[in-house]
Amino acid sequence: MKCLVVIAHPINDSLCHRMAKTAIASLIANGHEVVVEDLYAADFSPALTYEERLTYYGPAFDQTAVKQNIDDLLSVEALILVFPTWWFGFPAILKGWFDRVWAPGIAYNHSSDLGAIQPKLNHLRYTLAITSLGSPWWVDRLIMWQPVKRILKIALLGTCAPNSQLYMLSIYKAEKLSHAQVDSYLKRIQSKISKWAK
């Protein structure tokens, strides 16, 4: 498959970048084609522009500034998102990537009566979210009810890419991990990717 890896962490030697490198190496080792978008390295602006918002309900979304990002998204069968969970949500730069790239006419179509939107990312088969959290697992799952997973599954994939299977790999207490715990988590990434159909 052709796979898009989107990385959203500002520090190059962070745990997230190590996770991304593991995912990329595993994809290549399993015979997949890989496209990488490192949002911070590319100085991606998360802010929706005036022109983009103005055309959200027009005949054609203004994709001038994000055309390459859109082309990448539309060309792949698998999407891998690597990011830290901050305040139980996406980093601003990744949220902005969704705002600007998952736009009308690209990720979905508006219905004629402004009712339920119509999905357009029907080519996506797999989505893997790889994320780190500072909190323990029970806060994310039992108190917050996994908000990032719910947004991905219901709001984004559920409406724009209903054919995509979602896999979520979260590592908790990220600031206090031992080398053995990190290595074990990286092996989980490799194992998950190795099970994808080639």
Q: Give the pLDDT mean for 52-79.
A: 93
Is the pLDDT at 10 greater than 90? The verdict is yes
Long-range CB pairs of 37-40, under 8 A, 24+ apart, other chains included: 37/4, 37/5, 37/6, 37/7, 37/69, 37/72, 38/7, 39/6, 39/7, 39/8, 39/93, 39/94, 39/97, 40/7, 40/8, 40/9, 40/10, 40/93
pLDDT given at position 30:
92
Assess whether pLDDT exceeds 60 at residue 198.
Answer: no
Q: Taking a C-beta distance cutoff of 8 angstroms, is the pair 90, 39 a contact?
A: no
CA distances from 179 to 7, 40, 111, 130, 187 (A): 22, 26, 50, 18, 12
User: What average pLDDT does range 52-61 have in this prediction?
Assistant: 90
pTM summary value: 0.94
pLDDT digits (tens, 9 = 90+) for 11-43: 988 999 999 999 999 999 999 999 999 999 999
CATH of 2-194, one of 3.60.15.10, 3.40.50.360, 3.10.20.30, 3.30.70.100: 3.40.50.360
> What integer pLDDT is reported at residue 127 of this predicted model?
96
What is d(CA 36, CA 64) in angstroms, rounded to the nearest whole number? Answer: 20
Domain spans in the chain, listed from the N-terminal domain onward: 2-194
> Measured between alpha carbons, how far apart are the two ends of the chain, in Å?
6
